[in-house]
Structure 1
Amino acid sequence: MNYIKIFITLFAVLCSGIFSGTVSAQFKQTILFVPHDNRPISFGQTVDNIKALGYNVITPPQELIGNRDDLGHPEALQKWVAENAGRADIAVLSADSLVYGSLVASRKHDIPADVLQQRAVAAFADLHKKYPYLPVYVFGSIMRTPQTNAASSEEPDYYRVYGTMIARYTALLDKQEKDGLTGKEKRELANLKKSIPESSLNDWMARRAGNFEVNKYLISLAKDKSIAYLVLGCDDNAPYSQTDKERRELDQFAGDLNGTTYQSVAGLDELGMVLLTRTVNEMEGDIPFVNVHYAEGKGADTIPAYSNEKIKDSVKTHIKMAGGLQVNTDKRANFVLLLNTDKDGVTYAANDLTNTTAPRANTASFVDMVGKYLKEGKNVGIADIDFGNGSDNALMNLLWQKDYLAKLKAYAGWNTPTNSSGYAISMGMLSSYTDQNGTIKMLMPRYLDEWLYQANIRQQVANKLDSFKGEGDYNDTKTRTAQAQDYATTLMRQDVMKYGLDKFPDEMALDKLEVRFPWHRLFEADVVIPAADATTVTTTASGK
């Protein structure tokens, strides 16, 4: 008998009783969830995954949640949470939504520091006073540092002009603190300081300082147990960056809390899914065991794009955050996670012309590893992080040819590599609470999103856009939106038939899907699938 597994599971059941008020729950419980924006990948799809397992997930009205244009309504959200938290067994809350309004708002707001502090008190300290026995899980962001002007779609306007210089300037300051600078780097630092307008740099750093103080306050609330579990995610950053500097300082401030009720991690958009998975594992009374393997080459030591740490460290942290335990043997694993990494540890862009179906150095061996574990009857999931913002076409083509797609327990390849690995870990854990048809319901949005749209259709629509009547471009489709939607719909329906995705269980309506661009840009594409009961299921492809 596996006595270690039995002991840990029993411990999890007892912990679950602490959170739910009973050791053996007789019914599925209620989770109150506030996302950091209204993108379905971090809101609707995530909530649907949890609801499909039989949990009651209550969420705020759509009009209160921030998006690309409406930066959110933090005071109204706080009021809604306070009025509805009494219905919940546990709450999973976005600090960005409740303090700033949304994730985007946290990057470009002009809110005075004292107002931010007041909001944080109202959102979390006052909530704990009103509901002292409600476990509150909080996820927030350490403000990102886009590395280039082009990557600054959600920053103040000056970042589109000086962003590359600001990122480099703060990277050198970080390197100076950690490792010291060469003479050449010292001169570069001085020149950058002269070249960046003082007003722009001051604005950026002042906003960061206000956000930093909010995060310190959240850590203080975790220390006094007003917050039961706190995660701070590092969106777009690098090993040398202002984001990495602030993460180190916050981790130091957390002290002994690190790794217990506080955790920082590379990645952000996946955190709602990760913490909801943690709540499900606790309510189910289980600690999933996860065994991890990487593609040949750099593998576990890859530092992927948009990250400041090796992927093996992010994976280990995500597993722990989701309520699981990483193990070193397949025999004890409930779930085997395989990470598709580039042989040389490089992250490419999924819409790049190099992303073809031609196998690369380690594609065949990786697919062989997938087949090996499937044949052994293992629960297998894939984090496809060779490319950013979409699937590896060579990998997906081989998985399709070998008929592996419908047999997986998890797959993700969206946005940043850490978004993908964290989401895949969560999917793999959740799959143990449903059958394969239920798992396919989680898989299908990922195949439509990462593979068909992000890695292929997105660029095809972009190439065709200028031939449409009216005005519009990649970042704002304007009067060309309807034509772009129609073209993307045609392409996706063709690909669904080509790869036989409509033959998957309960997926016959895929031939009637429609692609929409609700944010009027090609970064996101809602895929609306008619359901048999006349309702609709919406999946969203989210790019960077």
Structure 2
Amino acid sequence: MVMALPMASARHKQNVVPRIIYVPHDNRPISNQQTAEVVQKLGYEVIVPPDKLLGNRQDLGHPDELWAWLKENARDADAAVVSSDSLIYGSLVGSRKHNYTKEQILARTENFKSFRKENPKLPLYVFGSIMRTPRSGAASGHEEPEYYRSYGADIFRYTVLKDKEEVEGLTRRETKEAAFLEELIPRKHMQDWLGRRDKNYSANQQLIKLTRGKLFNYLVLGRDDNAPYSRTHMESRHLDEEGKDLGKTEFQTMAGIDEMGMLLMSRAVNNLRKDVPFVYVRYNWGRGPATVPAYSDERISASVSSAITAGGGMPVTSPANADLVLTVNTNPNGKTYEANDRANDGRPREGTAYFADIVQEYVSKGYPVGIADIAYANGADNALMEELKKRGLLFKIKAYSGWNTPTNSSGFVIGAGMLTKYMKDADVDELLLTRYLDDWGYQANVRNIVARQLTWLRGDGFYGSLDAKREAVGLRSTRLMEQFVQENLPPFKSLEDINVTFPWNRMFESDIQRGERKDFRYFLNTAAEKTKKTAK
């Protein structure tokens, strides 16, 4: 049952619906509407900027226009959750490829001072990124400057050595390797890359100072794609030192970035409701909490703990009184694989049945269960999903995520899962359906099939830039998604009308639109009645 909504301002004496301003870091479905949708299920009003102001792969965004939009729309809001990357650089991708001067960047950072003066009582939650260090040009996904395609692996390795040099020192061989890489990588490229990082670091320093000055209710800086040794890890260590006087309820750095919007939206809601959700965490057997997942520089237990704090929750040691029982699907050997790996074929692996038993046990006890599906990066674990389907657990849990990097998935399900206790069952089912279609249906299955068929399609285009093949890929993906739905999901009314598109002109993420649907439990009860009549 949805609880009564709090009266957060005088406006709500007449209208009890709280309004949250949300500025995402780009217009991808997961960053934008899928995050907003979670909070909208509570009956809240979520105000987001027009799509034309948000950044994408080609348009790096419009920071000055976003500032104007934010100031105009904040007057009647009860809270604001904003991306500093959007307001300073235009977008997350813009933070990696912009050509703004340091003066321009710091001037935009200073805009937070005037915004606070104009809105002295508005709860303000800010999330930003510590620039990522992709392992290679291919891993950068065309979201770094063009030279990263040629020298990305060399730049990454160079930063590994420089970070390690600070932490523990280098061997003689490693010192020679670093010197060789300095000569190998063109100086102009290295200067450009490090120069942009210096601007980002200076802006983050300033954001920490503004947090110290009580301009923000909370600031989190996410370590975008990184590794235990990398430039991202190095800068994070230094920024932690900058903010060491601030408590974790004021400022954090943490692994990940794409999940930060969801976490801070959760924090905003929990603070409006004056609630601190309790979260109990249970890992699969084996390495479990000690797993250092792909694209991260720390143990998953540390990332989960930080995400609970960022979302406004509190970890607890017993599931009995938890508002969310988070189960984390890790591989027993502590490794993370890619969802497009051939091993992700749906056949049970070591740990599959054990983890499903954990989920089933907690569900049977009536606990509100969420699943962070991180055995594979960038898509669901097909073996786990088959097991959940076989046991009838898909719509008995409260939250699920397995869509991108492991920390993206664990953070998103924590943020969304903590809010499900306020939602109607039908709305919980609808959010689960969004994730199953995207993370399981598309990311772990349809994407891989269509990617292998790209050469069959006419016209120019490839996985990372579909171009002339974009429409054909959309049609083929839609047909395959319809087949997936028929084979794996109950007959939701909205699933009769599915359409898959690719807003970023690449296959890595899709936008899966579906129509309005009736309550899932209507179909469940109808099926049960038909079974009874047949039995008679």
Using structure 2 for the length normalisation, give the TM-score. 0.93
Instruction: Tell me if the contact between 1:82 and 1:127 (Cα under 8 Å) persists in the aligned partners.
Output: yes
Q: 1:4: which partner in 2?
A: none
Instruction: Tell me if the contact between 1:502 and 1:511 (Cα under 8 Å) persists in the aligned partners.
Output: no
Q: 2:460: which partner in 1?
A: 471
Letter in 2 for 1:339: V
Alignment counterpart, residue 130 of structure 2, candidates 130, 142, 166: 142
Decide which moves more: 444-453 or 473-482.
Answer: 473-482
Aligned 1:186-201 pairs, distance under 5 A: 186-201=175-190
**Structure 2 vs 1, CA of residues 323 and 479 (structure 1 numbering), >3 Å: closer, same or farther?**
same
Q: Deviation per CA, 1:53-85: give whole Å up to 9, x if none.
A: 111111111111111111111000001111111
Instruction: Tell me if the contact between 2:493 and 2:516 (Cα under 8 Å) persists in the aligned partners.
Output: no
Aligned 1:74-89 pairs, distance under 5 A: 74-89=63-78
Is 1:130 the counterpart of 2:118 in the alignment? yes
Q: 1:282: which partner in 2?
A: 271
Instruction: Tell me if the contact between 1:20 and 1:283 (Cα under 8 Å) persists in the aligned partners.
Output: no
Alignment counterpart, residue 400 of structure 2, candidates 411, 423, 434: 411
Instruction: Tell me if the contact between 1:149 and 1:160 (Cα under 8 Å) persists in the aligned partners.
Output: yes
Aligned 1:418-429 pairs, distance under 5 A: 418-429=407-418
Q: Distance in 1 between matches of 2:501 and 2:371?
A: 27
Q: 2:514: which partner in 1?
A: 529
Aligned 1:247-326 pairs, distance under 5 A: 247-326=236-315
Decide which moves more: 376-385 or 279-288.
Answer: 279-288
Is 1:517 the counterpart of 2:502 in the alignment? yes
Shift of 1:244: 0.7
- SS of the aligned residue for 2:295 comes to coil
Shift of 1:532: 5.8
Alignment counterpart, residue 337 of structure 1, candidates 318, 326, 330: 326
Q: Deviation per CA, 1:85-141: give whole Å up to 9, x if none.
A: 11111111110000000000000111110010111112x111011111112111000
Shift of 1:22: 12
Using structure 1 for the length normalisation, give the TM-score. 0.92
Instruction: Tell me if the contact between 1:383 and 1:420 (Cα under 8 Å) persists in the aligned partners.
Output: yes
Instruction: Tell me if the contact between 1:390 and 1:454 (Cα under 8 Å) persists in the aligned partners.
Output: yes
RMSD: 1.8
Letter in 2 for 1:248: R
Shift of 1:47: 0.8
**Structure 2 vs 1, CA of residues 314 and 24 (structure 1 numbering), >3 Å: closer, same or farther?**
farther
- Identity across aligned pairs (percent)? 48
Q: Deviation per CA, 1:402-440: give whole Å up to 9, x if none.
A: 110011101000111000000111121111001221101
Q: Provide the aligned length of Structure 1 versus Structure 2.
A: 513
Shift of 1:511: 2.6
Instruction: Tell me if the contact between 1:97 and 1:103 (Cα under 8 Å) persists in the aligned partners.
Output: yes
Q: 2:147: which partner in 1?
A: 158
Q: Distance in 1 between matches of 2:268 and 2:68?
A: 23
Q: Deviation per CA, 1:220-240: give whole Å up to 9, x if none.
A: 110011112111001100111
**Structure 2 vs 1, CA of residues 450 and 299 (structure 1 numbering), >3 Å: closer, same or farther?**
same
Q: Distance in 1 between matches of 2:377 and 2:13?
A: 42
Unaligned runs of 5+ in 2: 519-536
Letter in 1 for 2:340: N
Aligned 1:20-99 pairs, distance under 5 A: 27-99=16-88
- SS of the aligned residue for 1:255 comes to coil
Q: Distance in 2 between matches of 1:448 and 1:188?
A: 46
**Structure 2 vs 1, CA of residues 25 and 95 (structure 1 numbering), >3 Å: closer, same or farther?**
farther
Q: Distance in 2 between matches of 1:130 and 1:94?
A: 19
- SS of the aligned residue for 1:78 comes to helix
Unaligned runs of 5+ in 1: 1-12, 534-544
Q: Distance in 1 between matches of 2:10 and 2:225?
A: 39
Q: Distance in 1 between matches of 2:300 and 2:517?
A: 41
Aligned 1:361-400 pairs, distance under 5 A: 361-400=350-389
Q: Distance in 1 between matches of 2:97 and 2:467?
A: 23
Q: Distance in 2 between matches of 1:313 and 1:22?
A: 40
Aligned 1:436-455 pairs, distance under 5 A: 436-455=425-444
Q: Distance in 1 between matches of 2:133 and 2:165?
A: 17
Instruction: Tell me if the contact between 2:498 and 2:512 (Cα under 8 Å) persists in the aligned partners.
Output: yes
Q: Deviation per CA, 1:192-236: give whole Å up to 9, x if none.
A: 111111111111000000010000001111001111211100110
